[in-house]
Copies of this chain bind each other. A is one copy, B any other.
Amino acid sequence: MALPPGMLPEIEPVSRESTAAVIARQLRDAIMTGALPPGTQLGETELAARFQVSRGPLREAMQHLVSEGLLRSERHRGLFVIDLEPGDVYDIYAARSAIERAAMLRALRGGDRDRIADLLEQTVVEMATAASEDDPSALSTADLRFHEALINASGSKRLVRMARTLLIETRMCLTALQSTYQRVEERVEEHTKLIQALRDGDEETALALLDAHMEDAVQRLAPGTSLTDGHAPPVPGNA
């Protein structure tokens, strides 16, 4: 170990990521941003040619996305990008509400409230920047990064893992219904208030704001449904 530590940061093996992981990430992004619209069929042969790999690694990537819930697989038929029905929007936000509530609780009680608040504020700055530049896509990305950061801050491996798919699905929702969104100032403001409550250690307010945040989103994306009262989703595409 002749090299002093800290000199060459992040010098990692040329291929630190498996081929399948790279492909999965690319497809994830494509699905998330809407480049691959819901319902499209993904042919293995075609994709293998596009990525210049064999069908083996590609299948692996696809299966990963299937188990994440982004693709649905029909045996001997093909793989399709999931399409989100109104019932799914309800379901996604109900699940997110559960996860983020838990994450917030752990952040509140975990100790480093100020450090976490600082991290979150960073993403709000990104939101504000995107808002001032009138870039809805970047705004949604920053929004999601806020929630991702909150969940990461919880320090729970499993909350993080479970949230990954949910946040991607959320992004799909936002992409699909980008236009019908609220005033950007309001959207930024909601997050700012959330951070303040966290910084103050005000559990009741923080959880209430979080619930309201989710409730707002659900009512905007799937009008007529509600998280708090157990009102049935319009299209119950659930098990």
Contacts and interface: CB of A to CB of B under 8 A. Distances in A.
B98 A94 contact: no
A26 interface: no
Given A67-B64, A162-B162, A239 B95 contact: no
Interface stretch (A33-41, A55-63, A116-124, A184-192): A55-63
Given A230-B106, A230-B110, A230-B111, A95 B63 contact: no
Given A111-B230, A230-B111, A239 B63 contact: no
Where chain A touches its partner, the secondary structure class is: helix
A127 interface: no
A159 B95 contact: yes
User: How many monomers of this protein are in the complex?
Assistant: 2
B230 A160 contact: no
15 contacts: A63-B64, A64-B67, A69-B161, A94-B156, A95-B158, A97-B102, A106-B230, A108-B230, A110-B230, A110-B232, A111-B232, A152-B239, A155-B238, A155-B239, A157-B238
A229 to B, nearest CB: 6
A69 B158 contact: yes
Interface of A: 18, 20, 56, 59-60, 63-64, 67-69, 75, 88, 91-92, 94-95, 97-99, 101-102, 105-106, 108-111, 152, 155-162, 165-166, 229-230, 232, 236-239
A166 B157 contact: no
Contact of A63 (B60, B88, B98, B161): B60
Nearest to A226: B109
Given A94-B102, A156-B94, A239-B157, A67 B67 contact: yes
- Nearest first, the 5 A-B pairs at minimum CB distance are A109-B230, A98-B102, A95-B158, A162-B162, A110-B230
Nearest to A95: B158
Contacts of A60: 59-60, 63
Contacts of A111: 230, 232
